[in-house]
Amino acid sequence: MLVLVRKSVPLRLLSRRPLNPFFLPPRSCPRRLPLLPRAAMGSVPGDGARLAYPPARRDDSVVDNYHGVQIPDPYRWLEDPDSEETKEFVARQAELAEEVLAGCPDRENLRREVTRLFDHPRYGAPFRRGNKYFYFHNSGLQAQSVLYMQDDLDGTAEVLLDPNTLSKDGTVALSTYSISEDGNYIAYGLSESGSDWVSIHVMNVTNKQPMPDKLSWVKFSSISWTHDGKGFFYSRYPAPREGGELDAGTETNINLNHQIYYHVLGSNQSEDVLCWKDPEHPKYSFGASVTEDGKYIILGIYEGCDPVNKLYYCEISSLPQGIEGFRERKEMLPFVKLIDNFDAQYQVVANDGDEFTFLTNKSAPKNKLVRVNIKNPEQWTDVLPEHENDVLESADAINNNQLLVCYMSDVKHILQIRDLRTGNFIHQLPLEIGSVSEISCRREDKEVFISFTSFLSPGIIYRCNLAPTIPEMKVFREVSVPGFDRTSFQAKQVFVPSKDGTKIPMFVMSKKDINLDGSHPTLLYGYGGFNISLTPSFSVGRVVLCKNMGFVVCVANIRGGGEYGEEWHKAGALAMKQNCFDDFAACAEFLISNGYTSSKRLCIEGGSNGGLLIAASINQRPDLFGCALAHVGVMDMLRFHKFTIGHAWTTDYGCSDKEEEFQWLIKYSPLHNVRRPWEQSSGNHCQYPATMLLTADHDDRVVPLHSLKLLATLQHVLCTGAEDSPQTNPIIGRIDRKSGHGAGRPTQKLIDEAADRYSFMAKMLGAVWTE
């Protein structure tokens, strides 16, 4: 889902967009790339001896009938996170993983160096509310970033909200927030242990005193204040379980019946005004926002994760007793249906009274801007037509009558100033090759703050003055990382032909002037789904790999993402999902054939939908990789829709309840396609690469059962259930505690996980540490 009304909302990178409940030679040529001899296929076999894997009970009586096809599910019992048997399985797997990791020689070297480079000040772009400025800051190793405020940009900053004081281990995180229009109050959402569940609290900004307000069971919600400062809109689900204690985030109950409420400041949640629900469509989700002029409430309705939505509006002045009057009437707000189908996305950019400007992909897969009078919606006009090649990622009204538009051109961002009324080009802002990670602006302001990052730039915040005829761009803050000299590294983009000839962009980062002799340990990262683009960003962990272990680090922009618009997304979704795996394999083969690495020195990594990518890739091409790191992946493609918010992903994957879509899913579902490669090939030396599946006990986005069931299956099929198995490469699971899908993870947990997964990878690939 996408936020409909943007007010200083950052452009989100990777899989973390607002309100998105999900959450990485061509065969058409005359010849295939040559493979290594059979004896060298697979990957370097760790210590050459098989691990002693803990036993896991198989229940062969569990068999499901999918449209006449019998599908066994012997580890169904792992779907119950509260059973003692599941807890014992998790404990034994954690012991095994720690045993393997303890034998990785560079674990402490990585932990020490990642910690050293992580210890640098980081800032968010400042934004204004009322007569104050606000910004986030982390001094370096703080578990969570702190929200500061100041009277002006040169004034003394004081702490407004420090999440680090809310828990000893840093696992309480600030997940969402909104400051009232007058700057007097902040409503903020806290999540615990990485769960998607949020509790909303309120603080008086002037005296920093907490208000008694507490709102529970909030999930996939923004917070939007009415301009009178009396209250705000938010979204919630019914409590997942009635009675008894619940460790929120560990349950797997399906999330149904999302609702929009209005909370009046100082009141009890039980008195909140129910503004919208749709019990006839329990899987729909909703977001409500107040327009920048404060006159309208915009309701977005979503049926999944596709960039499409219905859009309704309600004029606040048309409510004679205000929003609070609906508390007693037991009626929902009288929203007017402007868009009542799921044909396209509509995102509010600006409005002048009844005249609205929207960003939409209606008949424009790379997006465009349109304008309509919502009281007379018959006539829609194009303001900024779709670009032939570049994707229009965002548009913000600034300087009263101008637009700041962000295009993505071959996975790199471009910023332009345009006229709001006509869409005409005015200026292009100077940027290096990289990503715009945050834009902070308001229509009334003559300045905008822009955060920029790239593979070799830790972060720059620009302050752009729009008052002069030619905008003035100055560096407001620049992040400096100790021990990192960008002149020692290089980052370039290549285009790789996939199986069907489609050119796939891939970024390649390494030390300068490396010899392409096939010797370099290499990490290939991918995602490929949900219209999410992997744009250049700075990573301390990846810098350490390049600097101290000679790695080449690559990011593949495979189909399924949003790098080239909705057509690129759809080319890697539903019946076309196999394109994602083919694209990724083509990028791996390119790295081998062009002398960067070899199969035994190549590791692949991805998270969430990217975890699915990694698991499907090792099933389909175990010969191609030396190591695999699959984070919080969707592994059971036949049952994912039955847990928490999984039903929202059917827009990208399909659903096994439908026969045609079952046939798509069964062909690549990681859980259902584990095979013994030595039985599939003429030789007997091919095995699965060394594999680490990573999950967390409070991941209520992609629940841990996905990784646990696949872990048990891999270990049984490849190791414990096979006589004379050649599978000596380890198959382990790293199961974190008091963590979720990834958002809000404290700094120390980020460092510890990087040390664990990369030391495992380094040992499996034979990489050597150098100071």
pLDDT tens digits for range 394-414: 999 999 999 999 999 999 999
90-115+490-765: CATH, from 3.40.50.1820, 3.30.70.2200, 2.10.240.10, 3.90.1150.10:
3.40.50.1820
Which of 571, 551, 552 minimizes the C-alpha distance to 504? 571
Q: In the chain, pLDDT over 70 holds for what percent of residues? A: 92
One-character DSSP codes across 490-516: EEEEEEEE-TTS-EEEEEEEEETT---
Which band of pLDDT confidence, cut at 50, 70 and 90, is reported for residue 242?
Answer: low
Which of 191-205, 323-337, 419-433 is predicted least confidently? 323-337
Q: How many residues does the chain have?
A: 771
Which of 478, 581, 488, 484 minimizes the C-alpha distance to 526? 581
Distance of CA 703 to the CA centre of its chain: 15
Q: Where are the domains of the chain?
A: 90-115+490-765, 171-241+251-343
pLDDT > 80? residue 340: yes
Which of 693, 434, 455 minimizes the C-alpha distance to 554? 455
pLDDT at residue 243 in the model:
55
* Mean pLDDT of the region 487-494: 97
Residue 595, burial from CB neighbour count under 10 angstroms (0-12, 13-18, 19+): middle
Residue whose structure tokens are 């560990």: 250
pLDDT at residue 597 in the model:
98
One-character DSSP codes across 99-165: HHHHT-TTHHHHHHHHHHHH-S-EEPPPEEETTEEEEEEE-SS-SS-EEEEESSTTSPPEEEE-GGG
Residue whose structure tokens are 């048309």: 318
CA distance 372 to 635: 44
Reported for 331-338, long-range contacts at CB under 8 A and 24+ positions apart, including other chains, are 332/274, 332/275, 332/276, 332/277, 333/275, 333/276, 333/297, 335/276, 335/297, 335/299, 336/312, 336/374, 337/310, 337/312, 338/311, 338/312, 338/313, 338/374, 338/377
Pick the residue with more confidence: 241 or 230? 230
What is the pTM assigned to this prediction?
A: 0.94
pLDDT tens, residue by residue, 577-610: 999 999 999 999 999 999 999 999 999 999 999 9
* Mean pLDDT of the region 83-89: 98
Residue whose structure tokens are 């609070």: 324
CA distance 438 to 738: 29
- Say whether 40 sits in a helix, a strand or coil: helix
Q: Which numeric CATH code is attached to 171-241+251-343?
A: 2.130.10.120
Which band of pLDDT confidence, cut at 50, 70 and 90, is reported for residue 441?
Answer: very high
Q: To which H or E segment does residue 763 belong? A: helix 747-765
Which of 445, 477, 311, 402 minimizes the C-alpha distance to 8? 445
CA distance 306 to 345: 9
pLDDT at residue 24 in the model:
31
CB 323 within 8 A of CB 304: no
Helix 540-549 to helix 107-118 angle (10° resolution) is: 130
* Mean pLDDT taken over the chain: 92
**CA-CA-CA-CA torsion sign (56, 61, 63, 69):** positive
CA distance 576 to 527: 15
pLDDT > 60? residue 5: no
pLDDT at residue 722 in the model:
80
pLDDT at residue 683 in the model:
54
pLDDT at residue 682 in the model:
57
- For 176, 633, 644, the CA distances from 220, given in Å and listed in that order, are 10, 20, 12
Q: Name the percent of the chain in helix, strand, coil, to the closest 5.
A: 20, 30, 45
* Mean pLDDT of the region 160-187: 97
Q: Which residues are catalytic?
A: 608, 699, 741
pLDDT at residue 351 in the model:
98
pLDDT > 90? residue 769: yes
Which band of pLDDT confidence, cut at 50, 70 and 90, is reported for residue 112?
Answer: very high
Which band of pLDDT confidence, cut at 50, 70 and 90, is reported for residue 25?
Answer: very low
CA distance 174 to 203: 13
pLDDT > 80? residue 297: yes
pLDDT at residue 11 in the model:
26
CB 340 within 8 A of CB 310: yes
CA distance 409 to 395: 15
One-character DSSP codes across 616-627: HHHHH-GGG-SE
Residues contacting 675, CB < 8 A, separation 6+: 619, 717
What Rg do the C-alpha atoms of the chain give, in angstroms? 26
